[in-house]
Amino acid sequence: MASSSKTKDLDGTAEGANLVTRLRRIHSRLVEKKPLIERDLHFLADGIGAYLDDIDHGRTSSLDRALSLKGAWGGISPARRDVLDRRDHLIRGVRDVVTEWREKNAIAVAPLMSLSARRYESQRWLRERNGVLPPDEPAATWWRILSAGAKIPGAKRLGQILEGEIQDLFEFPSHWPTVGESEKGDHDEFASPD
């Protein structure tokens, strides 16, 4: 396996948006001393094999590149993709929590969300950014997104996120707290990888 080979998923395509989720799943199973599923075993074996193959052939080796954690020039890194996917997940979730947004379609709710986010960012964020998670919604969601170093998109992109457009398939871990379940002061569940 040459260094240009990247770890492949079952369908043979390189890992993309769900790579960080996969690593979280592998880590969790290893910590809990549970066996890995077969595709995760292959993922690790192929990545480590590519790394060792590079070393054996005198090529510059990189474990992060062999595991597809660091791609070629351009594009979005798996870590950044994870932040954006988690941001989008929170945006979809807050829609169901805020009563006035719940029944509206994406086109109608996107400008309302955008206005709410801009108000939060300009009026509360500077005071709350080093503090604890706000107890109210949608402020808690905007706080999580901004604390992770992500930007809250404008109305057009919010509408696309809410409609599920321009998104990659992404498998969310079941252990992440939902918008309504988070406790005040708990801000580790959406930490920025940067």
What is the phi/psi pair of residue 14, to 5°?
-65, 145
Same domain, 3 and 58: yes
Give counts: helices (H), strands (E), the chain.
9, 0
Mean pLDDT, rounded, for 91-106: 93
Q: 14 forms bridges with which residues in the sheet?
A: 8
Same domain, 54 and 115: no
pLDDT, one tens digit per residue, over 150-185 is 899 999 999 999 998 544 444 444 444 444 444 444
List of residues 6+ apart from 21 with CB closer than 8 A = 82, 170, 171, 172, 173
pLDDT of 186 above 50: no
- Is position 191 within any domain? no
- Is position 44 within any domain? yes
- Per-residue pLDDT at 165: 56
Q: Compute the distance between CA of residue 1 and CA of residue 46 in angstroms, rounded to an integer.
A: 8
- Is position 65 within any domain? yes
pLDDT, one tens digit per residue, over 61-93 is 777 777 777 655 556 677 777 788 889 999 999
Domain count, the chain: 2
Same domain, 109 and 52: no
Domain that holds residue 16: 1-74
pLDDT, one tens digit per residue, over 13-70 is 334 446 777 888 899 999 999 998 898 898 888 888 888 988 888 888 777 777 777 6
Same domain, 83 and 153: yes
Same domain, 86 and 34: no
Same domain, 27 and 100: no
Cα Rg of the chain, angstroms: 19
Same domain, 82 and 39: no
Identify the band that residue 2 occupies on the pLDDT scale cut at 50, 70 and 90. very low
Amino acid at position 111, single letter: P
